[in-house]
Amino acid sequence: MPFMDKWSCLVTGAGGFLGQRIVRQLLEEEKQLEEIRLLDKVLSPQLLLEFSELKHKTKVTVMQGDILDEQLLHKACQGITAVIHTASVIDTGLWRRKEVMMEVNLKGTQLLLEACISASVPIFIYTSSVEVAGPNSYRKPVQNGHEGELLESKWRNAYPYSKKLAEKAVLAVDGQLLRSGIIMHTCSLRPMYIYGEGSIFLQSEITKALNNDKTIKRNKEGSMANQVYVENVAWAHVLALRSLRDSEKAQTIGGQFYYICDDTPPQSYSDLNYELSKEWGFKLGSKIGIPFTLLYWAAFLLEMISFMLYPIFIYEPPLNCHLLTLTNSVFTLSYKKAKKDLGYMPRFSWLEAKQKTSQWIGTLVAQNREYLKTKAP
């Protein structure tokens, strides 16, 4: 069966780093999109103006509020054809925002699924994370991994744990018969580390380097991971949506998860930051002087101290084993399944992505320069 003629879409986290790109691409590419609903806690007036000007034939409806607001979710899902759920809280700490992440990432997803089932929404796409797959150990490299290997994170840290449980909940409802008589189909996309203009994580690393003579802290020698440009991740969501709107393809894609990366060369996170910023005079720091195994065990001891103190005092260690493993392992994955099933191919090359991101970093450097001038005596 071909695509539905007229359809509508709800995007959660629509004002976020990824969500706003998905909204832009839907407005630009989907000619039959009658209405798009934007759900987020905060949506800037400038962003809303841009969305409204992109495509005048598509109705843009703003639904400002919390993903835990059940009444709002039920209202947002009424009459909707598809949901793209990107809203999430990300944190790499041990205790920091743990309760919030479990509430937003897991409970919020469960509540949204319930609202979709109640409103007979037939399509649900979940923005998951590579962290639901691993890495579990810096000693065990995974190279060119794929979906068939069924890699699964063993970490109990709130972010990977909440995302893993939420993804399982999403995929479990695929194939459910809705009250309208339509079959519900779901799928999950697992992007690698997402970079690009506006990334708060990349901005944080650049800010740290600016405060350290433009020196980027180096990861463990030999570590390697995939990174993916934000516009390519957004495009993967559009293609997944198109595939699920086709009832024949939905039979194959429903209930599946897909790794999403692009042609950014696999490299360490510090090498990526350097490649994106070297045009502006940034440099890589010296190699880690402390043996990594010793650093890891130090993090483990700090975690044990934190757990022992937990009943009376919340101590957030400066290091934790999950973060060290995540940023200092060999863990690369393939997007071949997404290419085969979704027709996914990156819209932007590594060169284009690097140029665009580097230009944005240049604006951060200029802003920092202006800031320092105001502080000069």
Q: What amino acid positions are annotated as catalytic residues?
A: 159
Amino acid at 275: E
Query: Taking the CB of residue 247, how many other CB atoms lie within 10 A of it?
Result: 15
Instruction: Tell me the two tokens of residue 190.
Output: 């697992």
Closest CA to 223 of 193, 200, 246, 196: 193
Query: Taking the CB of residue 204, how many other CB atoms lie within 10 A of it?
Result: 10
CA distance 14 to 21: 8
Contact 345, 157 (CB under 8 A): no
CA distance 115 to 172: 15
DSSP 1: -
Q: What are phi and psi of 9, to 5 degrees?
A: -145, 140
CA distance 118 to 107: 16
CA angle 348, 351, 352 (to 5 degrees): 45
Find tokens 């003579």 and name the residue.
213
Question: How many alpha carbons fall within 13 Å on the CB side of residue 14?
Answer: 33
Could you tell me how far CA 321 lies from the centroid of its own chain? 21
Amino acid at 314: I
CA distance 256 to 86: 17
Closest CA to 229 of 42, 318, 360: 360
SS3 45: helix
CA max distance for the chain: 71
